[in-house]
Amino acid sequence: MNQRAPEDQAHHPGTVRTSSELLVDLRERSPLVQCITNTVVTNYTANVLLALGASAAMVDLPTEAGPFAAVASGLLVNLGTPHAEQRAAAVEAVESAAIAGTPWVLDPVAVGGLPVRTDLARRLVAARPTIVRGNPSEIIALAGLGGGGRGVDSSDSPDDALDSARLLAERHGAVVAVSGAVDLITDGARVVRVSTGTPLLTRVTGGGCALGAVMAAFASLTADALAAAVAATTVYTVAAEQAAEEARGPGSFAVALLDRLASVDGADLVARSVRA
């Protein structure tokens, strides 16, 4: 396991202040996020964005995806169910986003052992996403340093994936966000850890995938992709932590998370991050 380096920041006051400011900005600007995402999580992802104060557009058809990516505020490409049309739409949208300067997030769901999505993920990451978000096993596999986890489940910890995350960041110019009990986010040089959250996020379909869409929303607000990824993770996990305290189980948690995303504010981020 990697040891924490001097440049690591865990709930640094500056990052919390920036996250609070970006949350205010998001609600004022209501960024429009194009989601090319998996069919299992489409509805929940849209509801997460709406609850937070952003807007969602599930435009994932070839010939439509490219033009839309040019006008969207941000783009999410999630490879959870990569059928043929969606694969073509993803490539088209990423190419258009690059020309238009639209920030985009790659979520390489279950890469490693599954050849179709793994080949597509490697093609897309070479197109230099703004942020790559995944679990530790996915990040290790995308970097070519492992074979992946058990489907969508990771068999590694975020710190196990630190070297892979740094490699991807340096190779492709992306910020890499590794999910886990303590989320790890790096641009290759700086490392930020976010320790808020709840295990209930792993008990709800879309709990992790929706975070990729939230990252795309925040990435549209600032040129600092690390700050965007940290803000998205902090806001999302603080709201999840609040929701877990009032939930009776996964079902009520999913509803409570939407409510808390609508109400979470800067004071909540400061209180929870300082305590953590």
Does 197 carry a binding-site annotation? no
Q: Which amino acid is at 204?
A: V
DSSP class of 142:
H
Instruction: State both tokens at 26.
Output: 């998001």
At residue 241, the 3 state secondary structure works out as helix
pLDDT in tens, 238-264: 999 999 999 999 999 999 999 999 999
Instruction: State both tokens at 29.
Output: 């600007």
Per the CB < 8 A criterion, the answer to whether 126 and 152 are in contact is no
Kindly state the average pLDDT of the residues 24-29: 98
Distance CA 180, CA 196 (A): 10
Q: Quote the distance between the C-alpha of residue 224 and its chain's center.
A: 15
Whether the predicted pLDDT of 147 surpasses 70: no
Does 215 carry a binding-site annotation? no
Tell me what pLDDT residue 273 has. 84
pLDDT band, residue 28 (cuts 50/70/90) = very high
Residues 8-275: name the CATH superfamily: Ribokinase (3.40.1190.20)
Does 14 carry a binding-site annotation? no
Give how far Cα 58 sits from Cα of 43, 179, 259, Å: 9, 24, 22
Whether the predicted pLDDT of 11 surpasses 80: no
Does 179 carry a binding-site annotation? yes
Q: Quote the distance between the C-alpha of residue 130 and its chain's center.
A: 11
Per the CB < 8 A criterion, the answer to whether 124 and 86 are in contact is no
pLDDT band, residue 159 (cuts 50/70/90) = very high
Kindly state the average pLDDT of the residues 2-21: 65
Handedness of CA 245, 247, 250, 256 (dihedral sign): negative
Per the CB < 8 A criterion, the answer to whether 141 and 112 are in contact is yes
Beta-carbon contacts of 13 under 8 Å, excluding residues fewer than 6 positions away, are none
Q: What pTM does this model have?
A: 0.93
pLDDT in tens, 87-120: 999 999 999 999 999 999 999 999 988 999 999 9
Tell me what pLDDT residue 4 has. 41
Whether the predicted pLDDT of 9 surpasses 60: no
Domains of the chain: which residue ranges? 8-275
Distance CA 234, CA 99 (A): 30
At residue 40, the 3 state secondary structure works out as coil
**Cα–Cα nearest to 78, from 53, 41, 51:** 41
Distance CA 166, CA 172 (A): 10
Q: What is the dihedral of CA 155, 173, 216, 158, to 10 degrees?
A: 20
Distance CA 231, CA 14 (A): 11
pLDDT in tens, 224-237: 999 999 999 999 99
DSSP class of 180:
S
Sheet with 32-36, side-by-side order of all strands = 8-10, 191-194, 183-186, 175-178, 131-134, 104-107, 74-78, 32-36, 55-57
- Give the lowest-confidence range in 11-15, 50-54, 96-100, 206-210: 11-15
Average pLDDT score, the chain: 92
Distance CA 130, CA 217 (A): 12
Beta-carbon contacts of 261 under 8 Å, excluding residues fewer than 6 positions away, are 48, 51, 52, 235, 236, 239
Whether the predicted pLDDT of 1 surpasses 70: no
Tell me what pLDDT residue 200 has. 97
Number of C-beta neighbours around residue 3 at 10 A: 7
